[in-house]
Amino acid sequence: MKRLIEILIFFLAMTTAPPSVERATIRLNAQPEFLLRNAAAPSIDSAEQNALQISSDIQSRHMPFGALIDPIFSSPYSNRIIGYTRAGDSAIWTGHYLAAEAFRYRVTKSPEALENVKNAIFTIKSLVDVTGNNLLARCFIPVNWRFAQSIIDEEEHHGIYQGRLAGKDYYWVGNTSRDQYTGVFFGLGVAYDMIEDEKLREAISGLVTRMLDYLIDHNWSVLMPQGFISTTFIARFDQRLNFLQVGQRVHPGRFSATYQVYRFLDSGSVAAPIAFDLLSDHKSYFKFNLNAITFYNLIRLEPDGFFRKLYMTSYNLMRRTTDDHRNAHFNMIDRGLRGADLRRDSETVDLLLQWLSRSRRDQWVDWRVDSKYQVCGNDRACDPLPIEDRIRTDFLWQRSPYMLYGGGYGRIESAGIDFILPYWMARYYGVIKN
């Protein structure tokens, strides 16, 4: 009877309330038990089981043919999938997922984690193969897939093209952005060092080489089939150096000299785009995730010396802005670059436990209609919100901690990479000991 009353209230709100009240009602209602997998007092002892379950869910619901996308359910109270969404960011999150599973394998030596790494690398290869010219696609989907139309309708503004993989026809999503390349290089760079398997390393080296050759040959710009530029790295000295740093690591004979030339010419300019991004600590917050994963490989692969100190100066400039944002992902990047810090590392554990109390469905959150938090502007709180009250989104750590409202109707499930990536990094760096 209680469940029936909740459902009736939900549909009444959907049909009668104005938008702000309607969605706030969804937030304030008690959540169905299956939406909160570990709502009852999550503990660090249960964190690994949660991480493993999330990986299993990703395999069963978020990677129907390899590329990572998010399912749409028929209602907030249903597990019946009626479509898929967020294909435009499939490449970046596949890269993050690859990094997460690579850290997991290094910590646990799990055959399942190794298989997930292999599949993610193969998926990234397919994202490069499907375009026919070593351009990275945002996503690819089989032409005859029953949910293809929902992706086409949503991503048409990015451009839908056709290609072939293993003799089969696929659609691929274009207008590839810097985000997608940055996420993929992040994952490949991590996996190369976490997985001591020569065949996988050869596969990673081949992929990095193909993508880097494409970018260098096209003057660090990405061209769509019609000839227009979808994005360019010309002014992103940090990202270019990061890609070349990864290239030098996986194929030194091909890219070491090139990296050293670019490092000599561009290292002094790395701080410029970072300083521009710091003009706002709230708007376009995803930029800080891109910067963090860029610095991770750029700095950790750089030997001690002048250039590493120069890179760290730019990184520290950004870190001084984000270090109080209560961001577990950024904290783990910082651990990897600067070593142990008791306050930060303890905070990271606490943040991960708070994450486990969140729903992975995209219920609408709107704190503008509530006096719980002090407001400093139309869309931001004065202080970072607690993890459990932040918006439900694809990757929590790329969303501003000050954001007062956002989400959807509780029908889209996020993959949970925002838990498994910082969790397995925390295990790898000894922040969480098993």
- Sorted by where each begins, the domain ranges of the chain are 2-428
Task: Report the C-alpha gap between 296 and 193 in whole angstroms.
Answer: 13
Task: Report the C-alpha gap between 49 and 322 in whole angstroms.
Answer: 30
Residue 398: its pLDDT value, please? Answer: 98
Q: Are 326 and 387 in contact (CB under 8 A)?
A: yes
Task: Report the C-alpha gap between 126 and 66 in whole angstroms.
Answer: 9
- Three-state DSSP class for 252? helix
Closest listed residue to residue 359, CA positions, set 408, 420, 399, 413:
413
Residue 2: its pLDDT value, please? Answer: 39
- Give phi and psi for 47, each to the nearest 5: -65, -40
Which pTM does this prediction carry? 0.91
Does the structural domain 2-428 have CATH classification 1.20.120?
no
Residue 41: its pLDDT value, please? Answer: 56
pLDDT tens-place string over residues 161-184? 999 999 999 999 999 999 999 999
- Give phi and psi for 140, each to the nearest 5: -140, 145
Residue 27: its pLDDT value, please? Answer: 34
Tell me how far CA of residue 92 lies from CA of 241, 341, 365, in angstroms.
18, 29, 25
Residue 373: its pLDDT value, please? Answer: 93
Residue 377: its pLDDT value, please? Answer: 82
Task: Report the C-alpha gap between 270 and 222 in whole angstroms.
Answer: 21
Residue 434: its pLDDT value, please? Answer: 81
Closest listed residue to residue 213, CA positions, set 127, 128, 115, 87:
128
Under-50 pLDDT residues of the chain: 1-39
429: left (phi > 0), else alpha (psi -120 to 50), else beta?
alpha
